Amino acid sequence: MDNEIRNTLRQLARCNRHIHTDKSVCAAREMTVPAIIAAAETAGLECIAITNHHHYPDHDILADIAELKGQVEACRPSLQVLVGAELSALGSGAYVDTEEINRQVEFRLYACNHYHADFWQQPEVRSPRGYAEHQLATLRLLLPSGRADCIAHPFHGLYLAAVFEDTSTVAAAFTDDELGDIMQLGRDNGVAWEINVGSLLKDITFARRYLRIGMEIGADFKVGTDAHHLINVDPKDAVEELISRL
Ligand SMILES: [Zn+2]
Ligand SMILES: [Zn+2]
């Protein structure tokens, strides 16, 4: 791995733009706003983004965001704290959030591959290639739509553990050209790509391809740990582990 990637990763690890609070049912109850901000300040981070799931249209995500923003302000944080959301692109042009909601979210992290959720759209052919093509089709509409600021945990098949014995076959089913083209489409539309440290550590072969291709095309990368516990608010140790294994 060259020094450029190493240095870039260390710089990016000053921020963590994928943190769930206890408003996400999957997150630990310790994930309160004051505890998250305290952990981020102790770690010396420069910015964090709170990104709770928006999985159902009847979930009032804007009310949650307003409440969380009030809690953030009361903490008087010494770092930048964005209160965004992990939005859901269930398939091509199929979004849980309305355009009106979308416009009011200050950091729009989009998940395109929560295939374990029973309401997520699935490809007709449930093969690794089928899931790769399904993600590409979703991204080709999402990236130029102006809806997204960043794509969460892109390309991998980790949420397909019930379907594939080896979930790395999904990321392996994308060609380098496809990854380069879709990451360029993101760059051209101002959409960043998440360095989801935990999932990349589970598939180092893909992590190498993803970072190399993204750096070649000048992708905007953002680090996110998908923190569900306070110990994952600081991304630096996980990023160092990633650097050591690349
Ligand atoms: Zn997610
Ligand atoms: Zn998440």
Q: Check residue 185 and give its pLDDT.
A: 98
| Nearest ligand, CA 225 | 2
Ligand 2 centre and the CA of 121: distance in Å? 18
Ligand 2 centre and the CA of 87: distance in Å? 9
- pTM higher than 0.75: yes
Asked if residues 241 and 234 have their Cβ atoms less than 8 Å apart, the reply is no
Kindly report the average pLDDT of the chain as a whole number: 97
Q: Check residue 109 and give its pLDDT.
A: 98
Q: How confident is the model at residue 1 (pLDDT cuts 50, 70, 90)?
A: low
Task: Please report, for the domain that includes residue 228, its CATH number.
Answer: 3.20.20.140
Asked if residues 5 and 246 have their Cβ atoms less than 8 Å apart, the reply is yes
Count of the separate structural domains present in the chain: 1
Ligand 2 centre and the CA of 152: distance in Å? 7
**Who surrounds ion ligand 1 at CB < 5 A?**
111, 152
| Nearest ligand, CA 111 | 1
Ligand 1 centre and the CA of 151: distance in Å? 9
The answer on pLDDT for 141 being more than 80 is yes
Distance CA 233, CA 192 (A): 20
Residue 223's domain comprises 3-245
Q: Summarize the confidence of residues 116-123 as an average pLDDT.
A: 97
pLDDT above 90 covers a percentage of the chain that reads: 98
Ligand 2 centre and the CA of 178: distance in Å? 24
Task: 119-122: list long-range contacts, CB under 8 Å, 24+ apart.
Answer: 119/55, 119/56, 119/90, 120/88, 120/90, 120/91, 121/90, 121/91, 121/94
| Nearest ligand, CA 159 | 1
Asked if residues 138 and 180 have their Cβ atoms less than 8 Å apart, the reply is no
Q: How confident is the model at residue 243 (pLDDT cuts 50, 70, 90)?
A: very high
DSSP E strands, the chain: 15-19, 47-53, 80-91, 94-95, 108-111, 150-151, 192-196, 221-224
Q: How confident is the model at residue 146 (pLDDT cuts 50, 70, 90)?
A: very high
Distance CA 33, CA 39 (A): 10
